[in-house]
Amino acid sequence: MEGIVKAICISPEKGTGKVNQHKGIFVKQHGIEGDAHAGNWHRQVSLLSYDKVEEFRRRGANVKDGDFGENLLVQGIDFATLPVGTILTCKDVVLRISQIGKKCHHHCKIYDSVGTCIMPTQGVFAVVLEGGEIREQDVMKVTLPQQEAVRAAVLTLSDKGFAGERTDESGPRAVEILACHGYEVVETSILPDEQKKIEEELIRLCDWCHVDLVITTGGTGFSVRDCTPEATIAVADRLAPGIAEYIRMESMKITRRAMLSRAVSAIRGRTLIVNLPGSVKAVEESLGFVIDELAHGIAILKGSEGECGRGKDRS
Distance from C-alpha of 83 to C-alpha of 47, rounded to nearest angstrom: 14
| 3.90.1150.10, 2.50.20.10, 2.160.10.10, 3.40.980.10: CATH of 151-302 | 3.40.980.10
Residue with more model confidence, 42 or 297: 297
Residue partners of 180: CB distance under 8 A and separation at least 6: none
| Paired strand residues for 115 | none
Question: Could you tell me if 67 and 50 are in contact, meaning their C-beta atoms sit under 8 angstroms apart?
Answer: no
**Residue-level length of the chain:** 315
Helix-strand-coil split of the chain, %, nearest 5: 30, 30, 40
pLDDT beyond 60 at 207: yes
Q: How many CB atoms lie within 10 A of CB 56?
A: 20
Domains 2-143 and 151-302 in one fold:
no
pLDDT beyond 60 at 91: yes
Residue with more model confidence, 108 or 71: 71
Q: How many CB atoms lie within 10 A of CB 10?
A: 20
pLDDT confidence of residue 115: 54
Chain-centre distance for alpha carbon 307: 27
Render 257-313 in DSSP notation, one character per residue. Answer: GGGG----EEEETTEEEEEE-SSHHHHHHHHHHHHHHHHHHHHHHHTSS-S--STT-
Render 12-67 in DSSP notation, one character per residue. Answer: SSTTS--EE-SEEEEETTTEETT-TT-SSSS-SEEEEEHHHHHHHHHTT----TTT
pLDDT confidence of residue 42: 84
pLDDT confidence of residue 111: 53
Question: Could you tell me if 70 and 9 are in contact, meaning their C-beta atoms sit under 8 angstroms apart?
Answer: yes
Mean per-residue pLDDT over the chain, rounded: 90
Question: Could you tell me if 37 and 31 are in contact, meaning their C-beta atoms sit under 8 angstroms apart?
Answer: yes
**In the chain, domain spans:** 2-143, 151-302
pLDDT in tens, 141-155: 999 887 667 899 999
Distance from C-alpha of 23 to C-alpha of 219, rounded to nearest angstrom: 46
Distance from C-alpha of 166 to C-alpha of 159, rounded to nearest angstrom: 9
Give the whole-number percent of the chain exceeding pLDDT 90. 72
pLDDT beyond 90 at 107: no
- Which residue, among 163, 107, 99, has the nearest Cα to 127 in the 3D structure? 99
pLDDT confidence of residue 308: 54
| Mean pLDDT confidence for 180-206 | 95
Distance from C-alpha of 37 to C-alpha of 47, rounded to nearest angstrom: 13
| Secondary structure (3-state) at 201 | helix
Helices 228-235 and 195-203, axial angle in degrees (round to 10): 40
CATH number of 2-143: 2.40.33.20
Question: Could you tell me if 50 and 58 are in contact, meaning their C-beta atoms sit under 8 angstroms apart?
Answer: no
pLDDT in tens, 51-81: 988 888 887 777 889 888 899 999 999 998 9
